[in-house]
């Protein structure tokens, strides 16, 4: 999804004209529920946007960290909150892409029916890195090497069912290759084993491995999104390397409880787009490896979520991934 700031901003302003005069809203503090610990990328997004919403809407904004179950704990809080506009929250590729299939009937909410999507706000591009001992420099070479050495290559991830894990599974599905998945409890635990050669490759967020790529300790052979990364412009997308349907990115969005009035959802959309247009906000997000996104209206974001759920369901099934 391209970053189309000007059209999105114009659409947001047009939508907001019907709600600027909404009497009394907001009349009390707003709560933003985020899904990870303080200081992480998602938390930085929530607090950066929250600070600007407070300034723009004239009310204090409280950020609440609710951790657990791949983001499901915090998402459930939003799903069950009163639909009055005073609780909104973050959602991610995990909660509204992978987890519906990963958790199945155990998911404590319906990712479609229980939410009113507001907009996408940021993406994290993933890069595919290999240990220098693996003689490949691109996607097709990796596929050929894996075919010649079935199940001898291992790839690490931040955990079973994460977007990093399923990126590897999607690669296996699209190339007909076999590789062993080694799950870790976070990318920080996996990277030392990759650096030592204990595992051979990773599909991992760029900020986690950028210093090691620059030092030559790891080789970047491509990015998983359709777009190139400004940080690694020479790493071609796998979609340009013979895998046209390969498009994986970790994304963050904002949502409200289902039945939140459309006018309030529209108000938040316009205010969030305005916040993300600010250079200081964009610089803060870019500084931690995030790409701000301002191209998804509430309706477009709802369609995007449906597409993500449909895309990841067969990958989760084929991988045999289970919720930790």
* E-only strand ranges, the chain: 30-34, 61-65, 87-92, 115-124, 126-130, 154-157, 180-183, 201-205, 219-223, 250-257, 291-292
Whether residue 256 is found in the same domain as residue 178: no
Whether residue 164 is found in the same domain as residue 119: no
* E-only strand ranges, 187-249: 201-205, 219-223
- What CATH number is attached to the domain comprising 221? 3.40.190.10
Contact between 92 and 252 under an 8 Å Cβ cutoff? The reply is yes
Please write the tens of the pLDDT for every residue from 245-279.
Answer: 999 988 999 999 999 999 999 999 999 999 999 99
pLDDT for 2 beyond 60: no
Please write the tens of the pLDDT for every residue from 206-244.
Answer: 888 999 999 999 999 999 999 988 788 899 999 999 999
Decide if 172 is inside a domain. Answer: yes
Whether residue 147 is found in the same domain as residue 167: yes
Please write the tens of the pLDDT for every residue from 107-152.
Answer: 999 999 999 999 999 998 899 999 999 999 999 999 999 999 999 9
Higher pLDDT, 23 or 73: 73
Whether residue 225 is found in the same domain as residue 148: yes
pLDDT above 70 as % of the chain: 93
Rg (CA), the chain: 20
pLDDT for 5 beyond 50: no
Higher pLDDT, 231 or 303: 303
Please write the tens of the pLDDT for every residue from 25-55.
Answer: 999 999 999 998 888 889 999 999 999 999 9
**pLDDT category of residue 59 using cuts at 50, 70 and 90:** very high
Contact between 229 and 127 under an 8 Å Cβ cutoff? The reply is yes
Q: For residue 264, how far is the Cα from the chain centroid?
A: 24
State the average pLDDT over residues 64-83.
Answer: 96
Q: For helices 41-57 and 279-287, what crossing angle results, to 10°? A: 170
Whether residue 13 is found in the same domain as residue 34: yes
pLDDT at 16: 43
Instruction: Mark which of 215, 240, 265 sits at the end of a domain.
Output: 240
Give the number of domains in the chain: 2
Instruction: Mark which of 212, 240, 268 sits at the end of a domain.
Output: 240
Residue 60 CB partners (closer than 8 Å, separation 6+): 29, 30, 54
> Exposed, middle or buried: residue 4 (CB in 10 Å: 0-12, 13-18, 19+)?
middle
Decide if 324 is inside a domain. Answer: no
pLDDT for 13 beyond 80: no
Tell me the whole-structure pTM to 2 decimals: 0.83
pLDDT at 125: 86
Closest-CA residue to 296 (of 121, 111, 158): 121
Between CA 246 and CA 230 the distance in angstroms is: 19
Whether residue 140 is found in the same domain as residue 281: no
Whether residue 120 is found in the same domain as residue 28: yes
Decide if 173 is inside a domain. Answer: yes
Whether residue 175 is found in the same domain as residue 230: yes
pLDDT for 186 beyond 80: yes
Range in 89-98, 254-263, 286-295 with the lowest mean pLDDT: 286-295
Which tokens sit at 153? 């290559």
Between CA 96 and CA 102 the distance in angstroms is: 11
Contact between 250 and 123 under an 8 Å Cβ cutoff? The reply is yes
Q: For residue 291, how far is the Cα from the chain centroid?
A: 10
pLDDT at 57: 97
Give residue 146's domain range.
126-240
Ramachandran bin of 179, using left for φ above 0, alpha for ψ from -120 to 50, beta for the remaining angles: beta
Mind giving me the DSSP string for 102-122?
HHGGG-SS-TTTTEEEEEEEE
Which tokens sit at 130? 């290999």
Whether residue 216 is found in the same domain as residue 278: no
**pLDDT category of residue 204 using cuts at 50, 70 and 90:** very high
pLDDT for 23 beyond 70: no
Whether residue 40 is found in the same domain as residue 118: yes
Instruction: Mark which of 240, 273, 295 sits at the end of a domain.
Output: 240
pLDDT at 320: 86
Decide if 65 is inside a domain. Answer: yes
pLDDT at 308: 95
Decide if 217 is inside a domain. Answer: yes
Contact between 91 and 115 under an 8 Å Cβ cutoff? The reply is yes
Higher pLDDT, 90 or 286: 90
**pLDDT category of residue 290 using cuts at 50, 70 and 90:** confident
Whether residue 102 is found in the same domain as residue 196: no
State the average pLDDT over residues 48-74.
Answer: 96
């Amino acid at each position: 999804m391209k970053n189309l700031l000007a059209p999105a901003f114009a659409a947001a302003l047009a939508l907001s004209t019907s709600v600027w005069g909404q009497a009394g809203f907001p009349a009390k503090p707003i709560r933003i529920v985020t899904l990870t610990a303080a200081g992480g990328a998602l938390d930085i997004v929530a607090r950066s946007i929250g600070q600007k919403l407070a300034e723009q809407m004239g009310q204090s904004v409280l950020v609440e960290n609710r951790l657990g179950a791949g983001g499901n704990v915090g998402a459930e809080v939003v799903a069950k909150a009163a639909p009055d506009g005073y609780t909104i929250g973050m959602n991610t590729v995990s909660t509204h892409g992978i987890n519906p299939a990963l958790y199945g009937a155990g998911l404590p909410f319906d990712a479609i029916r229980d939410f009113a999507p507001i907009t996408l706000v940021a993406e994290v591009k993933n890069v595919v890195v290999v240990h220098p001992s693996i003689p490949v420099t691109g996607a097709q070479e990796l596929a050929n090497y894996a075919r010649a050495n079935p199940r001898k290559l291992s790839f690490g991830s931040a955990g079973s069912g994460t977007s990093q894990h399923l990126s590897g599974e999607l690669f296996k599905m699209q190339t007909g290759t076999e590789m062993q998945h080694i799950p870790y409890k976070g990318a920080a635990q996996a990277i030392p084993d990759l650096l030592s050669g204990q595992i051979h490759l990773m599909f991992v967020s760029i900020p986690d491995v950028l210093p090691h790529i620059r030092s030559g300790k790891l080789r970047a052979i491509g990015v998983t999104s359709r777009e190139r990364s400004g940080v690694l412009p020479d790493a071609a997308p796998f979609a340009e390397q013979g895998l046209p349907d390969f498009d994986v990115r970790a994304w963050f969005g904002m949502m409200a409880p289902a039945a939140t009035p459309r006018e309030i959802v529209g108000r938040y959309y316009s205010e969030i787009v305005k916040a993300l247009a600010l250079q200081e906000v964009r610089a803060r997000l870019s500084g931690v490896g995030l790409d701000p996104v301002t191209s998804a209206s509430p309706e477009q974001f709802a369609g995007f979520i449906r597409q993500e759920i449909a895309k990841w369901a067969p990958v989760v099934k084929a991988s045999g991934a289970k919720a930790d």
